[in-house]
A and B are shown apart, each in its own frame.
Chain A
Amino acid sequence: MKRIWIFIIFLIVSMWSMPQGQAKTKTLQQLIDQTPENGILQLPDTIYKENVVIRKSLTIKGSKHTILQSANQKPAIKIENAEHVTIENITVQNAHIGIVGKKSQHLHFKHLHFKNVWSGIQLYNTQDITLKHLEIAGIHGHYADKGNGLAIYNSANVTVQENNIQNVQDGVYIEAVNQISLSKNKIQNGRYALHFMYTKNGQATDNTFQKNVTGIMLMMSENAKLSHNRLFEQNGLNASGMTLFQSKNINVFNNLFQNNRTAISAQNLTNSSMKKNTFLMNQSAIELIRSNEQNKINKNDFIGNIVNLRSDGSGSDIAQNYYDDYAGIDVDDNGIGDRSYVALQSFGQWMVRQPAYQYFIESPSVVLLNMMDRQTNAIEKKQLVDKEPMMQSAIIVESKSVRTVWKIILGFGMVLAILWFWRKEIQ
């Protein structure tokens, strides 16, 4: 009986002491407020359920299981008028928006994990930003009902590197930004992986975009370099690897486009180039609308595409590309075919005007039409004509040279082995 009484008393005491313990635990906002300017706040493995505001320079470092959950529809973390803020190693989950930054400079977000968020990070009027090693997974549902993984407005000097973003509307939405570099990011299952609007001096390198509506949507922008990206399986009804719209000085080079509905749709571009790209097994490789001779399409490889080039009748500078369906010969052995390659196909041109025609692309009547086109369009001199088609793909040339080195080494080794056996036999 005595033991039961002691147990009950212990329970009551424990219950009394519990709330006091909780009251002593400081909220994240209190911890932030107590951290001095330019100080470092080290957080333990704790779950914080609140929304915090940062208005000073500081560094927040989380631990392995530091989790921040939003208590309402407001951003989990809001940064305003701050000079230097670094946030590392935190998981933000079940929030409408993870982080919002406004009118701030030198913001660095690294190793952050966003789970079940409508939008990951939104930045307005910011400068000198680093977004690195972020994992962003959006909510379930159609992309029309989601926010953007990263959204950056009216900002400058932004680095977006090695992030993994999926199930959001646009992976990275960029509006009126000057100087942005995006590299080694993986973005999939969204509307647009990268969405540039009114952006100057943008650069996207070595990224992988897969199963989005469009890999790179670039609109009304200037001076962009898009290189060494891999764009796979953007193959829905309106899908494309890249859509480049009403922009100038856009250089697209050394990218790999594979299994996309349209690899590049270029509309109303000025002074732009597409060089040394590989177009592999796309429905249409390049679509040119309202183009002009200032736009260059040179030294690309077109392999296994249904339609290589199509246009609305406007011209472009097309030269020295490799086409796997080129049937010409190279008598003078200079690596360039002796007669022009004509990419003009009636059906390809119609598809530009009526995208729904894509569903008839390999129908018997279209195949017959393409065969007739090959005969009749051979005399075409201007539209979609490459006067210097390459006889070999750059990929094949590269792999051949590698093979040749191995052959020499193997041959040399065999000769040495034979000599050694021969000498051994003589002895």
Chain B
Amino acid sequence: MMKKRWLVGIFAAVLCLQACGDKEYKPREIDSETDICKICNMTIVHKEYAGEIALKNGDYEIFDDLGCLIEYMKGMDEDDLGKAFIKDESGKKWLDVKTASYVYDKDIWTPMSYGVIAFQTKEEAKKYIEKEGKGKLLSFSDLDTFEWGVHH
């Protein structure tokens, strides 16, 4: 009898500890037929530039461009944010918006023509600038004051 009580107690403690632990947030697959940008309403046809926010309540908000995602983040309650993701320059890999590095150039095309693309590391971003011969390196904190809009 005592043994059973101990087992139940341990099981309950494990459950409680799991609930207390950090939840892992993962990006979800984007569907071009149904997903639209939360800010500008554009359908997500260029998935290689898309962004996502996984909310703590399990919902997802989808964005067609990094600029739209940043605008949403500025207006949201930080407590609701699980994790924000953005596709990297190759368009294949999801990156954590807060740890990624960014490159801006007016000639870089993005769905909203904001001209900012993401890289996993600062070194990758620098390499891109070196290879293309143009571009400005930005960090996540720079995006907060970045003037989003077409710069042609």
Give chain A's interface residues, CB within 8 Å of chain B. Answer: 142-144, 154, 169, 175-176, 191, 197-198, 213, 217, 219-220, 237-238, 243, 245-246, 265, 267
Contact = CB atoms under 8 A, between A and B. Distances in A.
Given A176-B152, A198-B150, A238 B41 contact: yes
Interface string B29-63: 00011101000111111010000000000000000
Given A197-B113, A238-B34, A238-B36, A217 B152 contact: no
Nearest to A175: B113
B72 to A, nearest CB: 14
Instruction: Give chain B's interface secondary structure class.
Output: loop
A169 B152 contact: no
Nearest to A240: B41
10 contacts: A142-B32, A144-B32, A144-B33, A144-B43, A144-B44, A191-B43, A198-B113, A220-B150, A245-B40, A265-B41
Nearest to A198: B150
Given A237-B33, A238-B43, 15 more contacts: A142-B32, A143-B45, A144-B33, A144-B43, A144-B44, A175-B113, A176-B150, A176-B152, A197-B113, A198-B152, A219-B42, A220-B149, A238-B36, A245-B41, A265-B41
B41 A144 contact: no
Contacts of A175: 113, 150
Most chain B beta-carbon neighbours within 10 Å: one of A144, A176, A219, A267: A144
A383 B2 CA distance: 67
B45 A169 contact: yes
A213 B41 CA distance: 11
Contacts of B36: 238
A100 to B, nearest CB: 15
Nearest to B152: A176
A197 B151 CA distance: 12
Given A176-B150, A198-B113, A237 B45 contact: no
A213 B47 CA distance: 17
B70 to A, nearest CB: 15
Contacts of B33: 142, 144, 237
Contacts of B32: 142-144
Most chain A beta-carbon neighbours within 10 Å: one of B34, B45, B112: B45
Nearest to B36: A238
B112 to A, nearest CB: 8
B41 A243 contact: yes
Given A142-B32, A197-B113, A238-B34, A213 B43 contact: yes
Contacts of A237: 33-34
Most chain B beta-carbon neighbours within 10 Å: one of A217, A238, A245, A267: A238
B42 A217 contact: yes
B45 A191 contact: yes
A169 B43 CA distance: 11
Contacts of A143: 32, 45
A197 B150 contact: yes
Interface in B101-152: 112-113, 149-150, 152
A220 B45 CA distance: 19
Contacts of B112: 197, 219
Contacts of A154: 152
A243 B41 CA distance: 8
Nearest to A237: B34
B148 to A, nearest CB: 10
A154 B32 CA distance: 27
A220 B114 CA distance: 12
A217 B40 CA distance: 10
Contacts of A198: 113, 150, 152
Nearest to B46: A144
Contacts of B44: 144
Contacts of B47: 144
A213 B43 CA distance: 9
Among all A-B residue pairs, the 5 with the closest Cβ atoms: A144-B32, A144-B45, A198-B150, A238-B36, A176-B152
Contacts of B42: 217, 219
A378 to B, nearest CB: 33
Contacts of A213: 43
Contacts of B152: 154, 176, 198
A239 B150 CA distance: 26
A92 B147 CA distance: 42
B150 A267 contact: no
A175 to B, nearest CB: 6
A265 B41 CA distance: 10
B109 to A, nearest CB: 9
Contacts of A246: 40
Most chain A beta-carbon neighbours within 10 Å: one of B36, B40, B112: B40
Contacts of A243: 41
A311 to B, nearest CB: 16
A225 to B, nearest CB: 21
A360 to B, nearest CB: 18
A213 B36 CA distance: 11
Contact of A267 (B41, B43, B45, B149): B41
A265 B33 CA distance: 19
A346 B126 CA distance: 53
